[in-house]
C-alpha cells in the first residue's frame, strides 16, 4: 500500500498547499489529518489564487477525493464559508469530492472566544495563536467533552452535549476572563442551520474508506498542516500549536497503520519564516530579513500577520528529517533568493560555549543559541520563468546541492514561484 505523507519541515507555511495541489494530479485521495483553520494553504493556478484552511489541497482536481479525517478540528463557520467559496469558483461540483469524518472535532464560537481570552490574559507571554480556537477545541477532545461532526445528525445528543458544555464555557468566559457568554438556543439554531449544507459530505468512517482505497491500489496523499517545529510534543513548546504535526500524526489522525506509508515528503523553504511568538535562531531583524519578507510576500495566509524571516536552518531541518522520517524533500521559494549577494545557511548552533548540530529541544535553550552561518555566493537571474533544472544558475545549484548533502536526503522538487506550473521536477512522486 502506498500512502505518501506531506509535512512541513520548518515553522509552517513552507508551501505544503502548492505541493499537494501539484501532486494531486496523480493522487486519488488527499487526506487532512490534523490541525484546523489555523492552516492557510495557498494554491495558484493560472494566476488565480485559492487559499484553503480546512478543505484538502487536492480539491481543484475534479477526480481527486478529499477527506477530512478524525484528527482535524473543524470550524463549522469556516468550513461552510470555504465550501461556498469553492463552489462559487466552480470547484467542488459534486459532494462526493469531499468526505468528512463523523469523528472530526467541531470548533464552535466559544472556542474562538476562549482562544482570544487566553491570549489576552497572557500579556507579554502570548503564543500568538491564529485565534481560530484550535487549542480550546483540542483541549475538549482530550477531556472527552468535545462535540464531533457526527453529533450534528443527532439533534437530541447535540442539544444535550451543547447544554452541558456551555455551562462550563460560559462560567469560564464570564468568571475567569470577564467576557461575553453564549446562549444555548442561539448556538443551536446556528449549528442546525448548517446541517443541511454539510450532510452531503458526511462519511461515517473515513479510515475504512482510505484503507479500502489503499488496498485497491489507489494513490493517497496525507496533507500535513503547520510544521514540525510547531508540533505539540517536539516543537518549541509552549510556542507550538495544539496538535501533533509530524508524519506519525498522519497515521493517528486518519486511522491508518504506519506500514501503509511508503514515503514522507518534507516541504521546506529556501530560507526560514515563522509567524507568531517563539524562538527562531536564524531570524534577521535587518534589511535582509525585510527583503526576504517583501520579495517572498511573507504575510500569513490565515491572519495576514507579517512572517518573521531568516536564513535556512540546517540544524532545525535535520531535526525535522529525523522526527518525520523524511525520505524526500521539496525546496520551495528558491526564486526569492535571487538578487542577494550572498546567501546564508545555518549549519550549527553555538550553545553554552559549545558548537552543536543537535537541535536543543527546549525553547529556553533554543532562545540562547547563536547560529553559525556559512555563506554562499548568490545569483542575480530571475528563476520564475525557468522550465528546467539545467537552466538554474550554477550558484543556485551549488546551494541546492549543499542543502541536500547536509540533510542527507534527496531534494526531489524545486519550486520557483507560487503557480502550479512554476515547479521544476526532479523525480516523479509516485515512481517506485
**Residue positions annotated with a catalytic role:** 13, 41
Cα–Cα distance measured from residue 145 to residue 162, given in angstroms and rounded to the nearest whole number: 9
Q: Is 135 in the site for ligand IMO (CB under 6 A)?
A: yes
Task: Identify what 15 binds: Mg ion, ligand GDP, ligand IMO, none; CB under 5 to 8 Å per kind.
Answer: ligand GDP
Task: Identify what 415 binds: ligand IMO, ligand GDP, Mg ion, none; CB under 5 to 8 Å per kind.
Answer: ligand GDP
Task: Supply 215's cell numbers.
Answer: 488496498
Q: Is 275 in the site for ligand IMO (CB under 6 A)?
A: yes
At its nearest, how many Å lie between ligand IMO and the CB of residue 368?
A: 20
Q: Is 129 in the site for ligand IMO (CB under 6 A)?
A: yes
Q: Is 82 in the site for ligand GDP (CB under 6 A)?
A: no
Applying CB under 6 A, what is the total number of residues that bind ligand IMO? 23
**DSSP state string for 120-136:** HHTGGG-----SSSHHH
Question: E strands, 232-386, where?
Answer: 261-269, 271-274, 308-313, 328-332, 342-351, 354-356, 370-377
Q: Is 59 exposed, middle or buried (0-12, 13-18, 19+ CB in 10 A)?
A: buried
At its nearest, how many Å lie between Mg ion and the CB of residue 144?
A: 30
Whichever of 44 and 191 has its CB closer to ligand GDP, that residue is: 44
At its nearest, how many Å lie between ligand GDP and the CB of residue 115?
A: 19
Applying CB under 5 A, what is the total number of residues that bind Mg ion? 3
The partner residues of 221 in beta bridges, in order of sequence, read: 4, 30
Which one of 68-76, 117-125, 134-142, 329-337 is the stretch in contact with ligand GDP (CB under 6 A)? 329-337
Q: Is 333 left (phi over 0), alpha (psi -120 to 50) or beta?
A: left
Q: Is 13 in the site for Mg ion (CB under 5 A)?
A: yes
Task: Supply 302's cell numbers.
Answer: 490565515
Report the candidate in 322, 251, 332 with the shortest Cα–Cα distance to residue 21: 332
At its nearest, how many Å lie between ligand IMO and the CB of residue 108?
A: 16
Residue numbers 27-56 binding ligand GDP by CB under 6 A? 40-42, 44
Q: With beta carbons less than 8 A apart as the criterion, state whether 246 and 240 touch.
A: no
CA-to-CA separations, 43 to 46, 47, 98, in angstroms, rounded = 10, 9, 17
Terminal alpha carbon distance of the chain? 12
Task: Supply 240's cell numbers.
Answer: 507550538
Which one of 72-80, 115-123, 345-353, 413-421 is the stretch in contact with ligand GDP (CB under 6 A)? 413-421
Among 415, 420, 424, 429, binds ligand GDP (CB under 6 A): 415
Q: Is 250 in the site for ligand IMO (CB under 6 A)?
A: no
Q: Is 10 in the site for ligand IMO (CB under 6 A)?
A: no
The partner residues of 310 in beta bridges, in order of sequence, read: 272, 283
At its nearest, how many Å lie between ligand IMO and the CB of residue 395?
A: 29
Task: Supply 351's cell numbers.
Answer: 550553545
Whichever of 40 and 279 has its CB closer to ligand IMO, that residue is: 40
Q: Is 374 exposed, middle or buried (0-12, 13-18, 19+ CB in 10 A)?
A: middle
Site string for ligand IMO, 198-237 (x = CB under 6 A): ---------------------------xxx--x-------
Cα–Cα distance measured from residue 117 to residue 370, given in angstroms and rounded to the nearest whole number: 34
Q: Is 14 exposed, middle or buried (0-12, 13-18, 19+ CB in 10 A)?
A: buried
Applying CB under 6 A, what is the total number of residues that bind ligand GDP? 22
Among 301, 327, 406, 409, binds Mg ion (CB under 5 A): 301
Task: Identify what 129 binds: ligand GDP, ligand IMO, Mg ion, none; CB under 5 to 8 Å per kind.
Answer: ligand IMO
Q: Is 364 exposed, middle or buried (0-12, 13-18, 19+ CB in 10 A)?
A: exposed
Among 228, 242, 245, 301, binds ligand GDP (CB under 6 A): 301
Binding site for ligand IMO (CB under 6 A): 8, 12-13, 38-41, 127-130, 132, 134-135, 225-227, 230, 241-242, 275-276, 301
Binding site for ligand GDP (CB under 6 A): 8, 12-18, 40-42, 44, 297, 301, 332-333, 335-336, 415-418
Amino acid at each position: 500500500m502506498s500512502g505518501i505523507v506531506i509535512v512541513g519541515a520548518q515553522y509552517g507555511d513552507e508551501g505544503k498547499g502548492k505541493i499537494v495541489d501539484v501532486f494531486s494530479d496523480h493522487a486519488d485521495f488527499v487526506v487532512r489529518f490534523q490541525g484546523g483553520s489555523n492552516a492557510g494553504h495557498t494554491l495558484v493556478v493560472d494566476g488565480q489564487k485559492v487559499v484553503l484552511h480546512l478543505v484538502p489541497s487536492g480539491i481543484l482536481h475534479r477526480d481527486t477525493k478529499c477527506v477530512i479525517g478524525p484528527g482535524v478540528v473543524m470550524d463549522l463557520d469556516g468550513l461552510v464559508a470555504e465550501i461556498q467559496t469553492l463552489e462559487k469558483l466552480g470547484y467542488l461540483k459534486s459532494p462526493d469530492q469531499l468526505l468528512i469524518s463523523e469523528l472530526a472535532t467541531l470548533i464552535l464560537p466559544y472556542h474562538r472566544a476562549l482562544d482570544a481570552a487566553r491570549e489576552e490574559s497572557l500579556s507579554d507571554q502570548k503564543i500568538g495563536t491564529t485565534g481560530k480556537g484550535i487549542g480550546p477545541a483540542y483541549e475538549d477532545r482530550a477531556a472527552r467533552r468535545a462535540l464531533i461532526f457526527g453529533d450534528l445528525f443527532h439533534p437530541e445528543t447535540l442539544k444535550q452535549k451543547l447544554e452541558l458544555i456551555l455551562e462550563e464555557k460560559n462560567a469560564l468566559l464570564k468568571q475567569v476572563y470577564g467576557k461575553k457568554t453564549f446562549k444555548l438556543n442561539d448556538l443551536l439554531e446556528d449549528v442546525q442551520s448548517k446541517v443541511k449544507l454539510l450532510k452531503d459530505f458526511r462519511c461515517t468512517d473515513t479510515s475504512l474508506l482510505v484503507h479500502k482505497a489503499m488496498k485497491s491500489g489507489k494513490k493517497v496523499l496525507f496533507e500535513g498542516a503547520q510544521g514540525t517545529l510547531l508540533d505539540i510534543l517536539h516543537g518549541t513548546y509552549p510556542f507550538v500549536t495544539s496538535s501533533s504535526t509530524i508524519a506519525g500524526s498522519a497515521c493517528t489522525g486518519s486511522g491508518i497503520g504506519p506500514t501503509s506509508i511508503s514515503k514522507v515528503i518534507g516541504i521546506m523553504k529556501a530560507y526560514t519564516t515563522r509567524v507568531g511568538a517563539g524562538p527562531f535562531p536564524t531570524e534577521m531583524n535587518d534589511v535582509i530579513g525585510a527583503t526576504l519578507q517583501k520579495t517572498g510576500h511573507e504575510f500569513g495566509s490565515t491572519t495576514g500577520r507579517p512572517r518573521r524571516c531568516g536564513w535556512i536552518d540546517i540544524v532545525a531541518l535535520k531535526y525535522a528529517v529525523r522526527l518525520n522520517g523524511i525520505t524526500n524533500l521539496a525546496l520551495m521559494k528558491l526564486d526569492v533568493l535571487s538578487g542577494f549577494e550572498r546567501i546564508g545557511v545555518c549549519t550549527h548552533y553555538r550553545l553554552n560555549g559549545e558548537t552543536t548540530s543537535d537541535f536543543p529541544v527546549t525553547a529556553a535553550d533554543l532562545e540562547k543559541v547563536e547560529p553559525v552561518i556559512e555563506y554562499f555566493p548568490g545569483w542575480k537571474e530571475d528563476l520564475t520563468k525557468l522550465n528546467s533544472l539545467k537552466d538554474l544558475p550554477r550558484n543556485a545549484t551549488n546551494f541546492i546541492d549543499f542543502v541536500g548533502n547536509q540533510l542527507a536526503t534527496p531534494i526531489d522538487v524545486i519550486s520557483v514561484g507560487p503557480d502550479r506550473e512554476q515547479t521544476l521536477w526532479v523525480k516523479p512522486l509516485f515512481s517506485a
